[in-house]
Amino acid sequence: MGGVIDISSETISIIAALISGLSALYARWAVNESKKANELNRFKALLDLKAGYLNEMNQQLKAAKDWGLNDSFTQACREKYAEVDSKYREVCSEIDKFHISLVNNKQ
Cβ(49)–Cβ(91) below 8 Å = yes
**Res 28: pLDDT:** 94
Cβ(58)–Cβ(48) below 8 Å = no
**Res 98: pLDDT:** 83
**Res 29: pLDDT:** 93
Helix, strand, or coil (residue 88): helix
For every one of its 107 residues, what pLDDT tens digit does the chain have, with 9 covering 90 and above? 455 666 788 999 999 999 999 999 999 999 999 988 888 898 899 999 999 999 988 888 888 777 767 788 888 888 888 999 999 999 999 988 888 877 776 54
Cβ(40)–Cβ(107) below 8 Å = no
Cβ(92)–Cβ(50) below 8 Å = yes
**Res 70: pLDDT:** 74
**Res 40: pLDDT:** 86
